[in-house]
Structure 1
Amino acid sequence: MRRLIVSAVALTAGMTACAYAQEKTVVEFAYTYSYLFDVTFQKILPKFQAENPDIEIKVRSAYKDYEDGTNTILREAVSGNLPDVTIQGLNRQAILVEKGIAKSLEPFISEEVDFSRDGYHEAMLDLGTSNGSVYGLPFAISLPVGYYNMDLMAKAGVTDAAKLPKTWDEVVDLCVKMRTAGIKTPMFWTWNITGNWFLQSLMWTQNEPLLKAGKVNLDSPAGLNSLETMNKLFRGCEMPNYSFSDAQKAFAAGQIAMYYTSTSELGAVERSKGDWTLLTNEFPGMDASGPAGLPAGGNAAMLVSDSKDPKKIEAAWKWLKFITSGEGAADVARTTGYMPPNKAANEIILADFYKQNPNKETAVRQLPLLREWQPYPGANGLAITQVLYDGIESIVTGEATDMPTLQSELQEEVNDLMPTE
C-alpha cells in the first residue's frame, strides 16, 4: 500500500512539473559570433530566468557573422521559421525593416515608465531607428582599436603606451624595424571584418562617409586616400592574407605584434593569449591629430517573431529589454570588449570596472568619435559588401597595385548595384 502511495505522489509531482513546464512561454532566440557571446549569455540567462521563471529562452545555433545572420533571417521569413528575437549587425537592420520582418518596438516602449531614463543613450537608440520608429535596441557597441604585444613591441624600442603609434605611417615604420629584428608578422589589420567596417573606418577617419548623396563615395579624395593607405600598410608590413579567425589565433599565440581590430575581440583574446603583456590603445589616424570619426560597430536586438500569441510577444519583449539594459548590458562589458549601449551599465554598474580593466577603457575614450556604420541600400546590399571585400582583398594579395584604377573599378561596380530610385 505504501508503495502505491509513493508512486501516486511521484506521479502527481511529475504531472505538476509537466504542467508547469507546459505553462512556460518559450521565446526562441538567435545571436551571432558564438566564440564572443556564448560566455556572455551563460552569465545573462540565469539572471533572466531567476526574474522570469515562467519564460524559457530557447537558444538557436549561432550565426557565423552578421551577413550570415541577415541571410538566415531572410530565408526563415520565407519558410515561416523565424525566431522571436534576433541579434543583427547595426548595419543590417534596415533591410529587415524594409522587408517588414522586424517589428517596431514603439508600442512596447510607450508602455514603459520613464523608458528614456532606464539608461539608453539617445544616440544609441538612433542606430536602430527607421522612419522615426525604433526597431532595434543596441545590444553591444564596438569601435576599432589597436592591440599590442608589448613583448614584441620592445624589440622595436616601444616599451610603454606613450610610444605606441598614432599614425599609419608610424605603424609602417615599426613594421620595418620589427622585421629587421626577426619578427615575421609585425602587423595584421582586419580588412576582412564584417560589413567593410575597416574601409568605413578609414573614410570616417577623414570625416567622410562611404555613402554620400545616394551613391558610394569612393571616387572622392578620401576614397583614394583610404585605398592608398591600405596598400601602404599591406605592402610596408608584408601582411599575410590571414582569415579573420586565423589572425586572432596568431595574435593570441604571440606571433603578431600589432593587431588592429574591433574592441569586441578583447575578451576572447584575454582568455586565450599566452604569457605576454597586452596593451590596447586608440586607433591610429592619417596624421597625428587622430581620426575625426569612427563607425559604431556591434549589433542590436530585434523583435522578428511572427507569433500571434500576445503572451509570447510580451515575453519576447521582456527578454529583449533585459539583455540591452542594466545588469544584462553590463555582462556584455564584463565578458567581451564591447561597450554596453546603456548609461546605467556604463556609468553606474560599471563605475569601477573600467578603472580595473584599462584595456577595456580604450574604446570608451573613443566614444566621442562615434559615427554611423552605414548600411548599403536596396536589395543588393550584401552584394555590394562582397564587391568591396573582393577589391580590398586584391590589395592584400598584391593583385591590385594601381589604386586610382581600382578606385574607378570599384566605384563603377558598386554604382551598378545601387538602387536607381
Structure 2
Amino acid sequence: MKHLLPLALAATLAAQGAGAVQIEVAYAYSSVFDPTFERIMQAFATAHPDIEVTFRATYEDYEDATNTILREAVANTLPDVSFQALNRQAILVERGIAKPLDPYIAAETGFDAAGYHQAMLDLSTFGGKVYGLPFSVSTPIGFYNMDILRAAGIKTVPQSWDQVIEACRAIRATGRQDALFWHWNISGNWLLQAAMWSQGVPMIKDGRLNMDNPEGLKALETAQAIFRDCGMKNLSGADASKQFASGELGMFFSSTAYVGFVDRSKTGSWDFVTGPYPGIGGAPQALPAGGNAAMLTSASDDPEVRKAAWEFIKFTTSGEGAAAVALTTGYIPPNKAANALLMDSFYAQNPNKLTAANQLPLLSEWFAYPGDNGLAVTQLIEDSLEAILTGDATDMEALRDDMVEEVNGLLPH
C-alpha cells in the first residue's frame, strides 16, 4: 500500500509563499521516513520559503521505487527528486533518468567542507560523475528483548548465528514460540548478501552470482537453521517489527532503520537492546551498506526547478537535514557535519543507535544485479529463500546449484 503525505507535513508545505518554485519529491518506507521528512521540512520551509515541495505517494519499498520511476520515465511524469536504494542507482544512470550533480557541486562554495564521507559518496559515483548524495546509510544489526533472553537464561547478546540458534532453543524451551525474526525478505536480498559478506565473500563477482562455493552453501544452510530451529513465522518485516515493539518477540534481525520505529512504538517497560550483527563462524568480516541516496530525476527544462531540486537534495543530505535522519530513525548520517552535531550527546543518550555507527568500518558494496533483469533476479533469490522457510526446499546444495544456474541465466553474458 502506498501512503499519502502526512497531515502535519502537508500543513507545513501549505504555509509556504505563493509564487514559489514548485518541485515534487518521492521516497520509500512511509513508516520509517515520514517522521524524518516532517522534521526536515520544518527547517527547509524556513530556510527556503521560495521553494514549494510536494511529496508524492510513498514508494512501498525500494523495488517499488525502482519499478515506479522506470514507468514514470516512459510516461514522462518523473518527480524532480527521488530517493532510491544505494544498489538501484546504476540502472537510473544507465537509462539517463538520473542527472549528474557535478555542475551543482562545482558551483557550491566549500562543498567538500560539508563533510560527506568519501566511501559513502563513492556509492553514488558512476563514470567519475556523482549522480546521488547518500541520504541514509544502514548496516544490519540485532534487536533484543533482554527480558525474554534473561528469562531463558541468556545474559548477553549473541555474537554468532550458532549462538543465536542456541538462544532460540532456550527461549522456546520456556514455552514461548516467537523467538526470532530474521528479515530474509528485506529489499535487494540484503541479508543474504550480509551472510556472504560476513564470510568475506562478495555475492556478485565478475558479473555472476558468486555462490557456487562453500560460503554460498553455508549461507543457505545458516538460513535453513534459523528458519527451522527458531520456528520462524513467515511474516513481513513490518509485521515483525510491530511484534517486536509490542514485546512479544525475543530477537529481530534487520536494518538499523527500525530502531526509531521501535523507540516510538515500544509498549511496556521491557529492556530493548541492540547489538552487532552476528557472524557465521565468528565476527562478520564485512557487511553490505544499506540505505538510499537523493537523486536528481527532474525532466523539467526550467533551470530554476532543477536548481530548487538541488537545494532540496543538498539540504536533506548535509548538516541539519542529515542529522534528522539519525534523530528520527536508526540510520547513520552519511555526513561528517551531521555526525558532529550528534556525537557530543546524542549517541551517548541513544546507545541503540550507536551500534550501526560502530559497524561503519565493515561497510562493503550492496550489489545490484546487472542488466535489465536485475529486479527479476532479486525476486528469484527471494523465492528461493521462501522455499527454505516453507520447507519446500530441503537440500541446500541442490537449491544453491539451481539458484546459481537460473540467476546467471538471467544476467548479461
TM-score, normalised relative to structure 1: 0.93
**Displacement, 1:151?**
1.0
Amino acid at match of 1:109: I
Q: State the Cα distance separating 1:257 from its structure 2 match.
A: 0.3
User: Is 1:53 aligned to 2:46, yes or no?
Assistant: no
| Aligned equivalent of 2:278, options 284, 305, 309 | 284
The yes-or-no answer on 1:184 pairing with 2:200 is: no
Look up the SS of the partner of 1:23 in the other structure: coil
TM-fit CA distance, 1:22: 4.7
CA deviations on 1:106-135 (whole Å, 9 max, x unpaired) are: 111111122221110111100101111110
Which of 380, 383, 388 aligns to 1:387? It is: 380
SS at 2:226's partner residue? helix
What's the CA shift string for 1:161-217, capped at 9, x where partnerless? xx2111111111111111110111111100010000000000000111110012110
Q: What amino acid does structure 2 have at the position aligned with 1:131?
A: G
Q: What residue identity is the alignment partner of 2:35?
A: V
**1:8 paired residue number:** none
SS in 2 for 1:185: coil
2:171 maps to a residue whose letter is M
From 345, 349, 369, give the equivalent of 1:352: 345
Q: List aligned pairs for 1:22-171, cutoff 5 A.
A: 22-159=18-155, 163-171=156-164
Distance across 1 between alignment mates of 2:105 and 2:227: 47
Partner letter of residue 82 of structure 2? T
Name the structure with the higher helix share: 1
Counting only pairs closer than 5 Å after superposition, residues 214-293 of structure 1 correspond to structure 2 as 214-275=207-268, 276-288=270-282, 290-293=283-286
Deviation at 1:48, TM superposition (A): 0.8
Give 3-state SS (helix, strand or coil) of 1:338's partner: coil
Give 2:408's match in structure 1, choosing from 409, 412, 415: 415
Contact 1:326 1:349 in 2 (8 A): no
What does residue 396 of structure 1 align with? Answer: 389
1:348 Cα deviation (Å)?
3.5
Task: Look up the SS of the partner of 1:415 in the other structure.
Answer: helix
- 1:319 equivalent in alignment to 2:312: yes
Give, in angstroms, the shift of residue 244 of structure 1. Answer: 1.7
Letter of the 1:117 partner, please give it: A
Partner of 2:370: 377
3-state SS in 2 of match to 1:147? strand
Name the SS of the counterpart of 2:103 in structure 1.
helix
Distance 1:352 1:248 in 2: 27
Shift of 1:306: 0.5
Return the alpha-carbon distance in structure 2 between the equivalents of residues 52 and 252 of structure 1. 37
Name stretches of at least 5 consecutive residues in structure 1 with no aligned partner: 1-19
In structure 2, how many angstroms separate the alpha carbons of the residues matched to 1:410 and 1:347? 44
Whole-angstrom CA distance in 1 between matches of 2:382 and 2:342: 39
Match of 1:210 in 2: 203
Contact 2:136-2:333 within 8 A present in 1 as well? yes
In the alignment, structure 1 residue 294 sits paired with structure 2 residue 282? no
2:322 counterpart residue number: 329
Amino acid paired to 1:80: N
SS in 2 for 1:256: coil
One-letter identity of the residue aligned with 2:275: N
Question: Hey, which bits of structure 1, 4+ residues long, moved more than 4 A?
Answer: none
Corresponding residue of 1:307: 300
Contact conserved, 2:323 with 2:341, CA < 8 A, in 1?
A: no
The alignment partner of 2:70 has SS state of helix
> TM-score w.r.t. structure 2 length?
0.95
Rate the CA distance shift 1:305–1:333 in 2: closer, same or farther, 3 A: same
Distance 1:132 1:248 in 2: 39
Show the counterpart of 1:3. Answer: none
Displacement of 1:287: 2.2
Given that residues 29 and 61 in structure 2 are in contact (C-alpha distance below 8 angstroms), is that contact kept between their aligned partners in structure 1?
yes
Query: 1:147 Cα deviation (Å)?
Result: 0.3
Query: Shift of residue 320 of structure 1?
Result: 0.5
Q: Deviations over 1:65-113 (max 9, x none)?
A: 0000011100110111100000001111000000000000111111112
Whichever residue aligns with residue 33 of structure 2, its letter is: F
CA contact (8 A) 1:166 1:287 kept: no
Preserved contact between residue 17 and residue 49 of structure 2 (Cα < 8 Å): no
Alpha carbons 1:330, 1:350 under 8 Å: kept: no
Counterparts of 1:72 and 1:99, CA distance in 2: 14
Q: Is the 8 A contact 2:154 2:167 kept in 1?
A: no
One-letter amino acid matched to 2:50: D
Contact 1:143–1:363 (CA under 8 A) maintained in structure 2 = yes
Q: Secondary structure, in 3 states, of the residue corresponding to 1:146?
A: strand
Shift of 1:327: 0.3
Secondary structure of the structure 2 residue equivalent to 1:137: strand
Q: Percent identity?
A: 54
Counterpart-to-counterpart distance in 2, 1:349 and 1:221: 42
**Residues in 1 aligned to 2:151 and 2:345: alpha-carbon distance in whole angstroms:** 34
Q: State the partner residue of 1:17.
A: none
